[in-house]
Each structure stands twice: as structure tokens, then as C-alpha cells.
Amino acid sequence: MAVRCVSELCLIRVILPVTDVEAAASFYAHLLDMPGSRVSGGRHYFDCGGTILACYDALADGDRHVGSNPQNVYFSVGDLDAAYERARNGGCRDLTAIEVRP
């Protein structure tokens, strides 16, 4: 994994707590249009340009339950319309419109 940093501080991983790692891996593989990789029984990683999106099912990994992440996670994509369609067709439960952000 090549990490590209603009300063000495780099974001290398975002942990996304999930309750079903299989369902999460399938959903994000479809949404991100990449298979990702299973790294343990409860973790599935997606390399998003040097930052890893880690779908983490604590119970499946043998850890204590952790709560959900109440914050939004934003992605930059080359084809926003295609990503929106993958989200819409992939079962995204909270999808209202495309929002372009700086």
C-alpha cells in the first residue's frame, strides 16, 4: 500500500463498525467497485487511495461489541453518477441525492 501524504500527518485507516461483516463486505465491494480483502473473521479492508476503509464486526472478530460510527464518511470518486447508481442498486438505506463537496 502506497500512502500519499501532503504533510507529515496521514490518515491510513477508517474503522467502520458493522454488525454483519459479510453483508458489509458485499455492500462496499459493490459500492466501491472493488473486492477488498478479508483480513480476519471480522475485518474486511478496502484500499481507498491509500486510506483503508475497514469494515469491522467486533463479535465476528472475537472482540466485545462496539457501537456504531455516528459520523459521516466521505469518498471522492471519478464518476459520481456511476457511484450513485451502485449505491442505489446496492441497497443503500440512506440515499437521497448526490452532494458535491469541496
Separation of alpha carbons 87 and 102, rounded Å: 21
Q: Which fold has domain 14-89?
A: 2,3-Dihydroxybiphenyl 1,2-Dioxygenase; domain 1 (3.10.180)
Q: What is the pLDDT of residue 55?
A: 96
Separation of alpha carbons 42 and 12, rounded Å: 19
Structural domain spans, the chain: 14-89
- Angle among Cα 61, 33, 8 to the nearest 5 degrees reads 70
Averaged confidence pLDDT in the chain: 85
Q: pLDDT band at 17, cuts 50/70/90?
A: very high
Q: 44-51, long-range: CB within 8 Å, 24+ apart, which pairs?
A: 47/1, 48/75, 49/4, 49/76, 50/1, 50/2, 50/3, 50/4, 50/10, 50/12, 51/11, 51/12, 51/13, 51/14
Cβ neighbour number for residue 75 with a 10 Å cutoff: 12
For the stretch 55-94, pLDDT in tens is 999 999 999 877 777 777 777 788 888 888 898 888 887 7
DSSP label of 6? S
Q: What is the pLDDT of residue 32?
A: 92
